[in-house]
Chains A and B, each alone.
Chain A
Amino acid sequence: MDQKKLAIIATKGTLDWAYPPFILASTAAALDYETQIFFTFYGLQLLRKDLSVLKVSPLGNPGMPMKMPFGPKWFRGLNWNIPNAVQSLVPGYEAVATSLMKQTIKNNGVATIPDLREMCQEADVKFIACQMTVELFGFEHSDFIDGLEYGGAATFFEFAGESDICLYI
């Protein structure tokens, strides 16, 4: 049986949306898929050496439950419905939301993004950074981790065209 192939395009650069590409890619690799992720636009943030740039914002995201990762059970169950207008005015709101999410991740035994990214690399998941967006956003190759390939849309299709599964995230 030929080895199956998974191609992913990662376009989002927030802490929450960093999960789907790395979870799916690492799992696919564990299932013996040959896997590539093409990082473009905000997805490039997932390749930064310093992943603390990744934040999560409840602002403009009505689907995100805002719960506290500490305290007694009844307290953890409360949903803090804070209006967007207030969120946007309070300085540091995003930083607070990000640290609460990181705590929730830890409490639930969910892997961190640096760990998942490393597991992908150990499992030979190939990372391709979109050179056009690197330039567009004024990044330097030195902003990113080692072991990347830099290429464009044609590079993506070379692999994606032969893939069994292709995901846009």
Chain B
Amino acid sequence: MNFDKELDARGLNCPLPILRCKKSLTDMPSGQVLKIVATDPGAIKDFQAFSKQTGNELLSSAEAGGEYTFFMKKK
């Protein structure tokens, strides 16, 4: 999937992946896509909840080899 910016949140634990994601999105124009890679198993649920509450669309989430990859579209 195409993306405009990437956030490496590997090794970070709650709530850092969400806080970094929020910060990255702040600097992006509306409609752009942020790719996030995290290793915190709580991140799946948290990114869904973040998306639902902030209106930034979670385009996809996938797990492979202990890494979680998310694509989020800025509102």
**B50 contacts A119, CB within 8 Å?**
no
A23-B50 contact, Cβ under 8 Å, with A30-B19, A30-B22, A119-B19: no
> In the complex, which residues of chain B have a beta carbon less than 8 angstroms from the beta carbon of A23?
14-15
Which residues between 78 and 103 of chain A lie within 8 Å of chain B, taking CB atoms?
none
Q: B18 an interface residue at 8 Å Cβ cutoff?
A: yes
Q: A110 an interface residue at 8 Å Cβ cutoff?
A: yes
A31-B12 contact, Cβ under 8 Å, with A26-B19, A119-B19: no
**B53 contacts A109, CB within 8 Å?**
no
Count A interface residues, CB 8 Å: 12
Count B interface residues, CB 8 Å: 14
State the majority secondary structure of interface residues on B. Answer: helix
**B50 contacts A30, CB within 8 Å?**
yes
State the majority secondary structure of interface residues on A. Answer: loop
Nearest-neighbor residue (CB-CB) of A24 within chain B: B15
**A111 contacts B16, CB within 8 Å?**
yes
Q: A27 an interface residue at 8 Å Cβ cutoff?
A: yes
Within the complex, what minimum Cβ distance (angstroms) separates B18 from chain A? 6
Q: A61 an interface residue at 8 Å Cβ cutoff?
A: no
> In the complex, which residues of chain B have a beta carbon less than 8 angstroms from the beta carbon of A111?
13, 15-16
Nearest-neighbor residue (CB-CB) of A120 within chain B: B19
> How far apart are the CA atoms of A123 and B20 in the complex, in Å?
12
Q: A142 an interface residue at 8 Å Cβ cutoff?
A: no
Nearest-neighbor residue (CB-CB) of A122 within chain B: B23
> In the complex, which residues of chain A have a beta carbon less than 8 angstroms from the beta carbon of B53?
31-32
- Among candidates B15, B40, B54, residue contacting A26 with C-beta atoms closer than 8 Å: B15
> In the complex, which residues of chain A have a beta carbon less than 8 angstroms from the beta carbon of B13?
108-111
Using a CB–CB cutoff of 8 Å, the interface residues on chain A facing chain B are 23, 26-27, 30-32, 108-111, 119, 123
Using a CB–CB cutoff of 8 Å, the interface residues on chain B facing chain A are 11-16, 18-19, 21-22, 40, 50, 53-54
A-B interface, 9 closest residue pairs, ranked by CB to CB distance from nearest:
A30-B22, A109-B13, A27-B15, A109-B11, A110-B13, A31-B53, A109-B12, A23-B15, A111-B16
Q: Known pairs A26-B19, A30-B19, A31-B50. 15 more at Cβ < 8 A?
A: A23-B14, A27-B19, A30-B21, A30-B50, A32-B53, A32-B54, A108-B13, A109-B11, A109-B12, A109-B13, A109-B40, A110-B16, A111-B13, A111-B15, A111-B16
